[in-house]
Amino acid sequence: MRRLDLDSLGSVEPALRPRVDPRSLGVGVVHLGIGAFHRAHQAVFTEDAVAAAGGDWGIAGVTQRSADVVEQLRPQGGLYSVLERGEAGTALRVVGSVRELLFAAREGERLRELLAAPSTRLVTLTVTEKGYRHDPASRRLRLADPEVAADLAGRAPGSVVGQLVRGLQARRAADAGPVTLLSCDNLPANGAVLAGLVADFCAALPSAEGEPLAEWITRSVRFPSSMVDRIVPATTPQDRTRAAELLGLDDRGVVVTEPFRQWVVEDDFAAGRPAWERAGAVLTADVAPYEAMKLRLLNGAHSTLAYLGALAGHEHVADAMRDPGLAEVASRLMAEDAVPTLAVPDGFDLRAYQQDLLDRFSNPALRHRTAQIAMDGSQKLPQRLLGTVADRLAAGARPRAACLGVAAWMRWVSAGRTDDGRPVHVDDPLAERLQQLTAGAQDPAAVVDALLGLEEVFGRELPADPVFRELVLDALTALSRGGVAEAVRELVG
């Protein structure tokens, strides 16, 4: 079958083609971390914004860890399809907003050149929580991280923050003007966090180099925050086959997603932006209420369903949702624990939002693996569950569902096996530490105490709270004794 590219695009049904002529689109955005999420989210919003209001906002997509996406998309002229799978059926569109691809490890020079180009006015990021190389509890850059330390010593940068700071240094030297750095990762106050990490990196440089750079950054660079939302599971061979049927072409870069998409962006840009509001995004002065709502309700419930579901032998989130006990845990976590901690914008219907989340999780057309969401828990727990727990404890409440989520993570990283005896692979930047800490732990109390000692995850206050320890220990004890079934029964009856 012929491959999708700029020449074969003419054979695709017109309604499925990009909404902007890719050949006419110049690059204005550099995106770090061009995985499936970016291609199904910001790249779609950007194409629709340009279709509605114009602008040279084509994207140069940078991969960090592997060259796979470059190899998939470069021969296709950056084109790929987005396959939307909902209850009502499947839809496909080809997206053309990605105009250039590079693999940072091999093309660092080109990355620096792009970051220093006056035509680049926006740098966006989806590098996942661990890509920031910070301590989630303190939100400071881990200066001792080997990648960060090597970047500080002056090699061609390998960490995201190193790449950004060296790029900004080149931009300042080239007098290329202001630019905006927009984080699109699932971290609270992601813009402020990124600004802080860039400042931490500058402060660790020799002062003659770091100080004037930091001063220029303060004047010339904006770091708005944003809340992103779209469920994007890993693409399966079945998705590729389905896309080929709809396209009549072979597309190696297909991404699969749900019909829903949402983007709330703090409207604070140094050098313009695409008219994303014309594509359905919300541009606002304060993203914080939306962020907290999304991280605590969607991601908090997602992670809880992922750990409990994976331990109980459910391969996908929709399978876990078919288990009435697990669906009830998700719904109580939201309604009883998270909702009371949220201050939502006026007129926002939180009840409908929670129901929509349960429906989205139950979408049987999406094969979203629980093991995929279970990854990197040490980087996800604070903003997804621990914030909720801390706020509820401070209010004198007992957030049992959220503590069950924390205990399920503890079980996942310490038990080595699922309830039915299948081996667990812990994929986490702290995997080795987690393993060492819990290796000698003989009983649930020892596991809880060992893991609560992880200050970079739990901070100092929570581990010292006796109610928190008690709730997590009760849940972990039930998980160890009678598996997910018993722990869920204890919570929901």
Q: Is 299 in the site for ligand CS2 (CB under 6 A)?
A: yes
Taking CB under 6 A as the criterion, which residues in 96-135 touch ligand CS2? none
Binding mask 202-231 for ligand CS2 (x = CB under 6 A): ---------------------------xxx
Binding mask 364-393 for ligand CS2 (x = CB under 6 A): --------xx------x-------------
Q: How many CA atoms lie within 13 A of 63 on its CB side?
A: 19
- Joined together, the tokens standing for residue 202 give 């500058």
Least spacing, CB of residue 375 vs ligand CS2, in Å? 7
In sequence order, the 6+-apart residues with CB closer than 8 A to the CB of 219 are: none
Least spacing, CB of residue 90 vs ligand CS2, in Å? 19
| Single-letter amino acid, residue 145 | D
Q: Which is nearer to ligand CS2, 137 or 298 (CB)?
A: 298
First to last CA, the chain: 55
# of chain residues touching ligand CS2 (CB under 6 A) = 10
Looking at 38, 222, 296, 302, which residue binds ligand CS2 (CB under 6 A)? 302
Query: Which stretch in 53-61, 113-121, 295-303, 459-467 sits in contact with ligand CS2 by CB under 6 A?
Result: 295-303
Enumerate the β-bridge partners of residue 182. 124
Q: Which is nearer to ligand CS2, 296 or 302 (CB)?
A: 302
Displacement of CA 26 from its chain's centroid (Å)? 27
Contact yes or no for 488/325 (Cβ under 8 A): yes
Least spacing, CB of residue 461 vs ligand CS2, in Å? 25
Compute CA distances 186 → 35, 266, 294, whole Å. 14, 15, 9
Query: Which stretch in 46-54, 69-77, 294-302, 434-442 sits in contact with ligand CS2 by CB under 6 A?
Result: 294-302
Query: Which stretch in 7-15, 108-116, 297-305, 385-393 sits in contact with ligand CS2 by CB under 6 A?
Result: 297-305
Q: Is 186 in the site for ligand CS2 (CB under 6 A)?
A: yes
Q: Which is nearer to ligand CS2, 60 or 232 (CB)?
A: 232
Taking CB under 6 A as the criterion, which residues in 3-42 touch ligand CS2? none
Binding site for ligand CS2 (CB under 6 A): 186, 229-231, 298-299, 302, 372-373, 380
